[in-house]
Amino acid sequence: MSDYQEFHRRSIEQPEAFWGAEAARIYWHKPYTQVLQYDNPPFRQWFAGGETNLCYNAVDRHLAERAEQAALIHVSSETGAEQSYTYRQLYEEVSRFAAIMQAQGVGKGDRVLIYMPMIPEAIFAMLATVRLGAIHSVVFGGFASASLATRIEDAAPKLLVTADAGMRGGKVIAYKPLVDEAMELAGAAAADKVILVNRGLAEAPMMKPGRDLDYATLREQHWHDRAGVEWVESNHPSYILYTSGTTGKPKGVQRDTGGYAVALASTMEYIYGGKPGETYFSTSDIGWVVGHSYIVYAPLISGMATLVYEGLPIRPDPGIWWQLVEKYRATVMFSAPTALRVLKKQDPEWLHKYDLSSLRALFLAGEPLDEPTAEWISGELKIPVLDNYWQTETGWPMLTVCNGVQPLPTKLGSPGLPVYGYNVKLLDETTGEEVPVGEKGVIAVIPPLPPGCMSTVWRQDERFVNTYFSLFQDRKVYSSFDWGVRDADGYFTILGRTDDVINVAGHRLGTREIEEAVSGHAAIAEVAVVGVHDTLKGQVPQAFAVLRDPSVLKDPEKKAALEKEVISKVASQLGAIANPARVYFVNQLPKTRSGKVLRRSIQALAEGRDPGDLTTLDDPSGLEQVRDAVQS
Ligand code: ATP
Ligand code: MG
């Protein structure tokens, strides 16, 4: 057995010994009485009785050793702002912001809704909230007022923190009018107070007397005020965060405190290899789970500097991210396949312009890492490129290669092995039995879930149990609702969501398999495959592809020839059963704000149905393109 297998086995067979040792990575104000309490499955309590605080672990704890070291580096390619905060400065900003919140009546257990662009104050607000034992709900900045309103209704926050505006691609997006609209929609659940960080981007935002407060004014007033840390029990909620809404209505994931801190701290050694004093660069947004875990909490808990970036990956030019890696000597970088595909379309010289020798590894998560993209970026960077498979629900990776435990090879198209703490199994959807090597099944976790995973659906325990733990009638097994396969070495490959599985004349196919075959064609930049109702076969696959060179589309002959080529490529790779009935060419795919392809909406349009809940849709033109394509 390899070292890693042994390590993983110990985490599953002796969870108390394993996590008891890991718990020493964080500061406990009061020791816990039990590592794991599991008498009410699927609910579990990690480190019950222990008292700690996320903000203390992320900020105060470092003051003794690294007060003058950089903690937060903010760069905005939208406004040109660039500023670095030491741990001491971070402590001052955060404890002052916490004092401001306290003065507005925020205390333990209260909710604070944060609707902010990627500016330092957004992170100060998150840390200030957990400092007080309050619970943050960060809503991705730029979500429309309806999405914001449902999240306000769900959390019923005491306070809402926002800014006058965000900026995207040089365009100012005023936030305050959206907040006002959402507060109106939320009715009784609306926040008592709104704190506005005025960046001077939007024209004089309307301030409602008695409700809306200006952050700069408050900061002056409270200049010398510092709020202390509120110690909370390990299972006290730290935040609520909604899933991306790719498959339907987003779910409000509730996270604990102690278990989350311990899990994140462990991943910095075992997965990311980041060390105190180094720079961690995650290109995500604080509105997503990657932002919570790997922009804010894990790097700071680990005493690193976190690089916070506002802007697009290609502005002012496609070298911007690499320029920042060079400038701040980032050792760990975390991004998403969707962003990498954007960069892949640019001149490769942008990657060669900068000294990237500080980087030890690149991590990607959020959606399948297609083989052409993985091959390209690992060839360019010549460092390990690691695919992380996880979910908002888990808070940290479920499948990857843990190079910090034992360096093991990666395999193209596979995130790797079950991460320590996760007893991942592939189960047959109907029988619930484990499927043999090479056969497809539902990615499931045998409980208890490890520390840091979701505690429940906010205020809906029943929905939590019914949604995640009832796929198999007799057993409380956690279902990911993703579909995968495992090879003889134990490496997993994600085949798509269980909702997206295509059934062609009784053969079950994952959308991912067909997508990989299509994107293997040199002309294709990106593709989504969906199953479309067919009276004869039940379902047939249809592909919606974005071309590397869209000029081909102007020539109907070339277009028809390309469609044929793609279809025969899939046939040669997967067999005729997987053949897309049609390949439609579009300029853009409909995606969620977090960059995930909205297959359910594409499928609906292809079947002539209503595209469903679109509150998380990014750019409506992607959907229009699909509509036009199927109607032409
Ligand atoms: P919702 O649950 O609301 O439908 P969502 O599942 O997209 O939205 P997230 O929690 O942001 O919300 O995304 C998790 C999902 O993203 C996973 O369940 C999986 O389908 C996909 N995913 C994440 N990482 C990977 C990866 N490395 N490879 C393949 N798929 C991934
Ligand atoms: Mg999901």
DSSP string, 610-626: -----TTBS-HHHHHHH
Residue 456 CA to ligand 2 centre (angstroms):
14
Q: How far is CA 15 from CA 10, 21, 41, 46, 263, in A?
A: 7, 10, 16, 10, 13
My answer on whether omega of the bond before 250 falls inside 30° of 0, hence cis, is no
The pLDDT value recorded for residue 474 is 66
What is the C-alpha to C-alpha distance for residues 289 and 97, in angstroms, rounded to an integer?
23
In sequence order, which ranges of 469-526 are alpha helices (DSSP H)? 511-519
Q: Exposed, middle or buried, 184 (CB in 10 Å: 0-12/13-18/19+)?
A: exposed
Q: What CATH architecture does domain 501-631 belong to? A: 2-Layer Sandwich (3.30)
Positive or negative torsion for Cα 597, 603, 608, 613: negative
Residue 247 CA to ligand 2 centre (angstroms):
7
- Yes or no: say if 172 and 199 are a contact pair by the CB < 8 Å rule: no
Name the residue of 143, 243, 363 whose CB sits within 8 Å of the most ligand 1 atoms, as the mutation to test its pocket: 243
What is the C-alpha to C-alpha distance for residues 630 and 611, in angstroms, rounded to an integer?
13
Q: Which residues of 51-78 are buried (b: 16+ CB within 10 A; e: fewer)?
A: bbbbbbbbbbbbeeebeeebbbbbbbbb
Tell me if residue 22 falls in helix, strand or coil.
helix
Q: For ligand 1, is residue 243 a contact (CB within 6 Å)?
A: yes
What is the C-alpha to C-alpha distance for residues 301 and 430, in angstroms, rounded to an integer?
42
Amino acid at 561: A
Residue 258 CA to ligand 2 centre (angstroms):
24
DSSP annotation of 390 reads -
Q: Which atom of ligand 1 is nearest to the CA of 392?
A: 10
What is the C-alpha to C-alpha distance for residues 135 and 131, in angstroms, rounded to an integer?
10
Q: How far is CA 84 from CA 75, 166, 198, in A?
A: 9, 20, 19
Positive or negative torsion for Cα 34, 35, 39, 42: positive
Q: For ligand 1, is residue 366 a contact (CB within 6 Å)?
A: yes
Q: How far is CA 386 from CA 81, 238, 256, 266, 291, in A?
A: 31, 28, 27, 17, 18
DSSP annotation of 454 reads -
| The pairing of beta strand 111-115 with beta strand 159-163 | parallel
The pLDDT value recorded for residue 622 is 93
DSSP annotation of 19 reads H
Q: For ligand 1, is residue 293 a contact (CB within 6 Å)?
A: no
What is the C-alpha to C-alpha distance for residues 88 and 211, in angstroms, rounded to an integer?
31
Q: For ligand 1, is residue 391 a contact (CB within 6 Å)?
A: yes
Q: For ligand 1, is residue 301 a contact (CB within 6 Å)?
A: no
The pLDDT value recorded for residue 285 is 96
Mean pLDDT by 10 residues, the chain (632 residues): 93 98 98 97 97 99 98 98 98 99 98 98 99 98 91 97 96 96 97 98 94 98 98 98 87 97 98 98 97 98 98 97 98 96 91 97 96 94 97 98 97 97 95 95 97 98 95 85 97 94 90 93 94 93 93 90 93 89 94 91 94 87 93 84
Q: Which contiguous run of DSSP H or E holds residue 217? A: helix 215-221
Q: Which atom of ligand 1 is nearest to the CA of 596?
A: 7
The pLDDT value recorded for residue 91 is 99
| Residues 6+ positions from 461 with CB-CB distance below 8 Å | 43
pTM of the full structure: 0.96
Q: Smallest Cα–Cα separation from 351: which of 313, 312, 388?
A: 313
Q: For ligand 1, is residue 493 a contact (CB within 6 Å)?
A: no
- Nearest CA, atom 28, ligand 1: 368
- Nearest CA, atom 14, ligand 1: 391
Residue 447 CA to ligand 2 centre (angstroms):
18
Residue 246 CA to ligand 2 centre (angstroms):
7
Task: Count CA within 13 A, CB hemisphere, residue 615.
Answer: 20
Name the residue of 293, 334, 391, 422 whose CB sits within 8 Å of the most ligand 1 atoms, as the mutation to test its pocket: 391
Q: Smallest Cα–Cα separation from 537: which of 515, 581, 506?
A: 506
- Yes or no: say if 55 and 127 are a contact pair by the CB < 8 Å rule: yes
Q: For ligand 1, is residue 389 a contact (CB within 6 Å)?
A: yes
Per the listing, tokens 């990575």 go with 25
Amino acid at 132: L
For the chain, report the end-to-end CA distance as a whole number of angstroms. 57
Number of C-beta neighbours around residue 510 at 10 A: 25
- Nearest CA, atom 15, ligand 1: 391
The pLDDT value recorded for residue 553 is 85
Q: Which atom of ligand 1 is nearest to the CA of 388?
A: 27
Identify which ligand lies nearest to the alpha carbon of 367.
1
Residue 4 CA to ligand 2 centre (angstroms):
28
Residue 391 CA to ligand 2 centre (angstroms):
6
Name the residue of 251, 392, 400, 613 whose CB sits within 8 Å of the most ligand 1 atoms, as the mutation to test its pocket: 392
Q: Which atom of ligand 1 is nearest to the CA of 387?
A: 27
| Residues 6+ positions from 108 with CB-CB distance below 8 Å | 132, 133, 134, 230, 232, 236
Amino acid at 224: H
Q: Which atom of ligand 1 is nearest to the CA of 480?
A: 18
Q: For ligand 1, is residue 246 a contact (CB within 6 Å)?
A: yes
Residue 367 CA to ligand 1 centre (angstroms):
6
- Yes or no: say if 100 and 94 are a contact pair by the CB < 8 Å rule: no
DSSP annotation of 189 reads G
Q: Smallest Cα–Cα separation from 562: which of 545, 541, 542?
A: 545
- Yes or no: say if 532 and 603 are a contact pair by the CB < 8 Å rule: yes
Q: For ligand 1, is residue 600 a contact (CB within 6 Å)?
A: no
- Token digits for 308? 């916070």
Q: Which atom of ligand 1 is nearest to the CA of 497?
A: 20
Q: How far is CA 459 from CA 55, 253, 342, 400, in A?
A: 24, 10, 39, 32
